Amino acid sequence: MSWKAPGSFLDIGSANLNLLKNIVNLGWQLTLVEPGPQAEQLSKSLQCVVHNRPFEECSFSVQFQAISMIDVLEHVHSPVVFLKKVSKILSPNGVALLRLPNSRSIRCGLEREKWNMVRPLGHFCIIFRTGRFERPVRLLS
């Protein structure tokens, strides 16, 4: 992979403040999509552009060298449409970081009944059988 850092970085969901601070400290030009009430605070603390609306409603005039979506896709009504939009704004040699809740993960095993990734409201509980996630992920390549 031959992409050049730092460059433009888009984070959708803005869940990991420590990660975002490190991205800014490394010199990346950070843009956030955060539809929640913390958007204004994130904008001030990270000194970056924040779109305070759902990703599906955002428009971008640039392509991004990196896009992160940490624990986001399970909140999306149409993941294929969502990932198609991501692929359009990801630069040709860009990198997409995607993390989903996994009921077979070490984290789930350690937290057991405290694991909060299965929620009747807010998570649409996308369940992928082995190999079923390959089609949506191919949209990013």
C-alpha torsion sign, points 24, 28, 29, 32: negative
Predicted TM-score (pTM) of this structure? 0.76
The domain of 74 spans 8-138
What would the two tokens of residue 76 be? 């999306």
**pLDDT digits 0-9 by tens, 126-140:** 444 444 455 555 655
**pLDDT digits 0-9 by tens, 75-109:** 777 888 888 899 999 998 888 887 766 666 666 66
Residue 97 has a CB neighbour count (10 Å cut-off) of 12
Q: What phi and psi values does residue 45 have, to the nearest 5 degrees? A: -75, -30
Over residues 25-29, the mean pLDDT reads 92
The CA distance from 94 to 76, in Å, is 22
Residue 3 lies in a domain: no
Residue 85 has a CB neighbour count (10 Å cut-off) of 16
Over residues 66-80, the mean pLDDT reads 82
Residue 117 lies in a domain: yes
Residue 120 lies in a domain: yes
Overall number of domains in the chain = 1
Residue 127 lies in a domain: yes
- Selected residue with higher pLDDT from 112 and 13: 13
**pLDDT digits 0-9 by tens, 45-64:** 888 999 999 999 999 999 99
Question: Which CATH number goes with the domain that contains 77?
Answer: 3.40.50.150
Residue 22 lies in a domain: yes
